[in-house]
Structure 1
Amino acid sequence: MIETLSWHQKVLLKKEIKLKCLSFQQLGYSSVNETELMNYLVAYRWKKKQPKSIKDCRRDISTIKPNEFFDYQQLVAQTSSLQLKDWHDLEDLF
């Protein structure tokens, strides 16, 4: 999914993605990583309407709230073909 962004765009957005992940971790969401956040942006948040510039992308990344990201994660989990026994990292839920 990340492949829809050019390597140049990925490089320019890396700092904001990293900062947002750190922000989530400071709020207690330790399982959020840069790849998942980038997948959320490309596959969901920017799927129909991608920001016009890198500056707009950065601004949009800075406004992501944890509940928006986890709503997406919940959709992914509900539509995934994995069975419950296939989920290996459930300890963050408890």
Structure 2
Amino acid sequence: MVKLSWHQKLLLKKELKNKCQSFHQLGYTSVNETELIDYLICYRWKKQKMDSIKACREDILHIEANEFFDYQQLVAQTSSRTIKDWHDIEDLF
């Protein structure tokens, strides 16, 4: 799995923060930058290679909520954790 260097994270921090704030305004208050980075690296950028920081920045700004939550649903379904292990499900109700 490819990881972002500290320098890449620093360069993408503004866009990640803006996207998190955008999700928060839509009512998805539990989304954080770490989850977005995981989504990008493990799913979105795994399919398509990002060649430059500029392309990464633009791609982050074009993430749709349903794309992100489709990935989160896949992670939940393929996880070995049981329902008792989930501590953060109160915001679903």
1:48 Cα deviation after fit: 3.2
Output the amino acid matched with 2:84: K
Three-state SS of the structure 2 residue aligned to 1:17 is helix
Structure 1 counterpart of 2:53: 54
Structure 1 counterpart of 2:35: 36
Q: Does 1:70 align with 2:75?
A: no
Three-state SS of the structure 2 residue aligned to 1:37 is helix
Q: Return the TM-score normalized by structure 1.
A: 0.94
Question: Hey, what's the Cα distance between the residues in 2 that align with 1:87 and 1:37?
Answer: 19
Structure 1 counterpart of 2:24: 25
Please say which of residues 80-89 and 3-12 is displaced more in the overlay: 3-12
Question: Hey, what's the Cα distance between the residues in 2 that align with 1:40 and 1:10?
Answer: 14
Deviations 1:36-76 (A, max 9, x none): 00100001000132211000000000000000000000000
Three-state SS of the structure 2 residue aligned to 1:4 is coil
Structure 1's consecutive aligned runs of 4 or more residues displaced over 3 angstroms after TM superposition are: none
Q: Does 1:6 align with 2:5?
A: yes
Please say which of residues 41-50 and 67-76 is displaced more in the overlay: 41-50
User: Is there any run of 5+ residues in structure 2 with no aligned partner, and where?
Assistant: none
